[in-house]
Amino acid sequence: MVYLKSENEINKMRVSAQLVSRTLAEVARYIKPGIKTGYLDSVAEDFIRKNNGIPAFKGYGHPGNQFPAALCISVNEQVVHGIPGNYELKEGDIVSVDCGIVKDGFYGDSAYTFAVGSLHESVEKLLRTTVTSLYKGIEKAIHGNTVGDYAYAVQTHCEEQGYSVVRDLVGHGVGRNLHEDPSVPNFGKPGRGERLRSGMTLAVEPMINMGTHRVKTLKDGWTVVTADGKPSAHYEHDIVVREGYAEILSTFSYIEEITKFQIDNNFLDGQARRD
């Protein structure tokens, strides 16, 4: 069942989404060669709790296989749900950091793929293509359109650049629960899928691979990797469907102030780029 949110509920979600955004920016300060992913996780959890939030991912899952950390940290060929630990970041790595928090009963959920030092040109293009596809999709996430309109915009942009869209993992509704209806795939056809309505709140998140779209899950039961071992990029925003535009509740602005990695968003509708 899809839950349309009131303005009061959206205001609370905005607070949660902004805390996630500030947490990702805090983590960005420490991303460099030699840093262990487990340390990044500890930075995030401390920041979340100091700001009166609760890490949404820690303990998530089924009894016997609950996620053990505040962040999902996925490096290079890891697509999503990587478990932070003793891995030391290396020059040329890319690292997807996915963060969820709950505050005042509402969830925020956002992700960003960071460059560790200098990247090969082809890998940097993957990142730029993926984040651009996120905003192209958001442009279509307006009242009266469908999930398929969003998905088609993401898919066509990435495939035109020679990349593939992960099929086995999708975005989702978000609100009082971390995962709500509807599912929001990043591939599809215009006019298909759930009809978007004002007040719907979604976590939209393209996961784009340099090689095959196929993925597999490692023995830890969480970490998803590309089937061919090639890099994958992942970006995620929380949005509200509105009449004529999508409001973005999260933001990458805090991150961009630190990393200086920005994308030319001149092609985007000003209303869509409200973060």
Euclidean distance between CA atoms 13 and 250, whole angstroms? 9
Domains, the chain, ordered by start: 7-259 (3.90.230.10)
Confidence at 69, pLDDT banded by 50, 70, 90? very high
Helix (H, G, I), strand (E, B) or coil at 148: helix
pLDDT at 271: 38
pLDDT at 261: 60
pLDDT at 265: 46
pLDDT tens, position by position, 75-132: 999 999 999 999 999 999 999 999 999 999 999 999 999 999 999 999 999 999 999 9
pTM: 0.94
Euclidean distance between CA atoms 171 and 184, whole angstroms? 4
Closest CA to 198 of 251, 153, 239: 239
Tokens read off for 70: 């505040």
pLDDT at 98: 98
